[in-house]
Amino acid sequence: MLCLTRRFGESIVIGDNIKITVISGRDGQIRLGIDAPADLAVDRSEIRTAKLANPRTGSDRYAAV
């Protein structure tokens, strides 16, 4: 695992077309902005786990998240 330190407003780039920017942070949480192609699935790990456990309802349950 690669570990990086970034400040608010700074970014990392993955490949040619994925950019992750630190937007804000407080109370032990950070907010990330992810700029990626629309055909690339970007999920939180718990959402991905739910989708894999139940492909039919896992994606529907979190569709608005």
The confidence score (pLDDT) of residue 54 equals 86
What is the rounded end-to-end Cα distance, in angstroms, of the chain? 27
Q: Is the pTM of this model over 0.85?
A: no
CB 55 within 8 A of CB 45: no
pLDDT(5) > 80: yes
Euclidean distance between CA atoms 45 and 27, whole angstroms? 21
Q: Render pLDDT for 19-45 as a digit per residue (tens, 0 to 9).
A: 999 999 999 999 999 999 999 989 999
Dihedrals φ, ψ of 21, to 5°?
-120, 135
Q: At CB < 8 A and 24+ separation, what contacts does 29-32 make?
A: none
**Domain extents in the chain:** 11-61
- One-letter amino acid at 6 equals R
